[in-house]
Amino acid sequence: MLDRKEYLILTSVSFWFWFFTYGTLGAYNREYLKLPFNGYVAFLIYGFGGGLLIGGLISGIILFANIIKRQKLFIKILACVLFPLTLVLIFQGGIWSFIPYGIYNLVALKKGGIENKCE
């Protein structure tokens, strides 16, 4: 199980790396994609989308790994059998909870009073 600091480091580094990667791709290819806005706006839009996508995927995988460890064998088998649905839930849950859970972990780290493990 990851602690809060490791979770924040992993998700933040992945967000910023993919923010700059996708942002650069969007800015350089805006004429090819026929985007109606300038390079800076394309950089921000594509960068935020790419960073949120990959950071959310990593967050979802980490959270799912923490949740599935505590489940009974039947639930683990069901998750394996229904793996397409499981993957969709992991990815969507990670993307939608990426920003709120990141803020929660940051506040918990600053406070120091909350248990230091990600749950």
In tens, the pLDDT along 10-28 reads: 999 999 999 999 999 988 8
pTM recorded for the entire structure: 0.80
CB-facing half-sphere around the CA of 43: CA atoms within 13 A: 8
pLDDT at position 112 is 76
The band of 75, judged by pLDDT with boundaries at 50, 70 and 90, is: very high
What is the residue-averaged pLDDT of the chain?
87
E strand or H helix that includes residue 11: helix 4-28
Amino acid 119: pLDDT: 56
Kindly indicate the confidence band of residue 39, based on its pLDDT and cuts at 50, 70 and 90: confident
